[in-house]
Amino acid sequence: MSDLADLEQGLGRFLGERAGETVRVSNLVGSTAGARRTNVLFDADLPDGPRRLVATILPTMDIQINPITAEAAVRGLAERYGVPVPHLRGVTNDSSYVGGPFFVSDCVEGETIPRRVLRLVHDREIGERVARQLGAALGRLHAIPTSEAPAELVGDDVADPAEQALAGVEESIRTLVPDRPAFAFGFAWLERHLPPPPDRRTIVHTDARNGNLIVDADGLQALLDWEGAMRSGDPMQDLAWPALRMWRFRYDDREIGGFAGREPYIEGYVSAGGTFDADRFHWWKTLGTLRWGLGLAGQAEAHLDGRFRSVVMAASGRRVPELEWDLLMLVRP
Amino acid sequence: MQPSPDAAALLSTIAELLDDELLAAVPGPLQHKTRVAANLCRILEREWTTGEAAAAAERARLAELLDRPDLDTAALRAELCTRIRAGGPEATSHDVWEVLVAGCRDDLAIVKPGHDGWEGR
């Protein structure tokens, strides 16, 4: 990343070109949110007044699932359908401004780090409200006609998303954890309970978990990180992902992100037009749990074979039993 | 035979160094790695202390389940994986599930004590 003076100049030039007049940028602060991306908060004197904005900058060589312009476009589409997202001010693939592709959004105040989010939510006793709001946000997203999906958004219509996901994990089990019977047992359960293809495909966010949310004392303010959004998926895959135990951060009895049980979440989802399917939800939750275990095993593998030496990646291997436990609890005979 | 301190005591000492002294002194980006390293030392300390008994218990459970007292742990695990994949009764058996849960409980006692407190949805 370039230093702050270069960033200030680059962001001012970008916003100025878009506004057709000089835009002064000041008070830059690096933010902690986001693992690979850099978020920079700043003030800008826009033609319609001063604004606190945030620039989300990608490393130049980063491999994106979606091009950043597609990510921005699907987020804008979601905003038009009432999904809470930070309002977009501009996006570019041009690395000449700040050293990488980036987008600029309105800054939304609130917490994003899961444990802080949960402390706030439980201090204020708004867990059920946040769960309901998250359900409603996904309900609105899933109500968008897929014909409106941005042209460059990834995720072509596959005949059967569940079957495809299952084939993917089968391959990973064979290469990463062929000797761990808990994975074999979980996989056998998934195979036996494979749901039929969904009646309806929707645009899916794919990562709407605690950690990709901005929450303040009034509740859910924004759903972030649309990088992995897909144009056509099983809506229950999207709904189930935030229910993994992994995202509860020790509030294990609150299924949805540590906020609350599933009832308000599903109420919110249904009230926004969604249709809940409990069996399909459970299947995707189980698949997600198994897949997360494979992800951890893959990190350890990347450490051991030298692709990514890191004590954190090495430690991931020893986290595999956590996911095996969660998986076994979900497939109890 | 090595003199005292033994491996468990040394690992515990390294964990204390990382947590109590180095953590406060390292720059921000290294703090997470330092915590992870300290946690790994505590995992290894528990593994050193109880790992052997846990491995023996796993072997005994699997040998009884599969009725193959002749096999070692690695071969028993491979045999169970093969039977589950073949779609036989092992793929749906409550007895198999119980053995896997017991093994996982022992693994967690080393890597993440308390994680087995959750049995719900």
Burial grade of A193 (CB within 10 A; 0-12, 13-18, 19 or more) = middle
Of A180, A326, A328, the CB nearest to B97: A328
Model confidence pLDDT, tens digit, residues A153-177: 998 777 889 999 999 999 999 999 9
Using a CB-CB cut-off of 8 Å, the residues of chain B touching A184 are: 80-81, 84-85
Of A312, A322, A328, the CB nearest to B101: A328
AA letter at A199: D
Q: How far apart are CA B64 and CA A202, in angstroms?
A: 49
**Local structure of residue A110 (DSSP, 8 states):** S
Q: How far apart are CA A249 and CA A271, in angstroms?
A: 27
B76 touches chain A (CB under 8 A): no
Cβ pair B85:A329 closer than 8 A:
no
Distance of CA B58 to the CA centre of its chain: 11
Nearest CA among A182, A184, A223, A229 for reference residue A73 = A229
**Local structure of residue A223 (DSSP, 8 states):** E
> CB neighbours (10 Å) of residue A281?
19
b/e string for B76-111 if b means 16 or more Cβ within 10 A? bbebbbebbbeeeebbbbeebbebbbebbebbbbbb
Model confidence, pTM: 0.94
Model confidence pLDDT, tens digit, residues B66-113: 999 999 999 999 999 999 999 999 999 999 999 999 999 999 999 999
Q: pLDDT value at position A1?
A: 45
Over its C-alpha atoms, chain B yields an Rg (Å, rounded) of 19
Q: How far apart are CA A1 and CA B5, in angstroms?
A: 47
Residue with tokens 């849960």: B101
**Local structure of residue A154 (DSSP, 8 states):** -
Cβ pair B118:A180 closer than 8 A:
no
Cβ pair B96:A185 closer than 8 A:
yes
Q: What is the ipTM of this complex?
A: 0.97
Q: How far apart are CA B86 and CA B78, in angstroms?
A: 12
Q: What tokens appear for A331 in the block?
A: 């497939």
> CB neighbours (10 Å) of residue A217?
11
Model confidence pLDDT, tens digit, residues A169-223: 999 999 999 999 999 999 999 999 999 999 999 999 999 999 999 999 999 999 9
Nearest CA among A229, A236, A221 for reference residue A77 = A229
Using a CB-CB cut-off of 8 Å, the residues of chain A touching B103 are: 182
Instruction: Please compute the mean of the pLDDT values over residues A59-80 and round it to a whole number.
Output: 87
B78 touches chain A (CB under 8 A): yes
Q: How far apart are CA A152 and CA A135, in angstroms?
A: 26
Q: How far apart are CA A6 and CA A13, in angstroms?
A: 11
Q: How far apart are CA B49 and CA A257, in angstroms?
A: 35
Model confidence pLDDT, tens digit, residues A232-272: 999 999 999 999 999 999 999 999 999 999 999 999 999 99
Closest CA of chain B from A262, distance in Å: 10
Establish how many alpha carbons lie within 13 A of residue A293's alpha carbon, considering only the half-sphere containing its beta carbon: 28
Q: Helix-strand-coil percent breakdown of chain A, rounded to 5?
A: 45, 15, 40
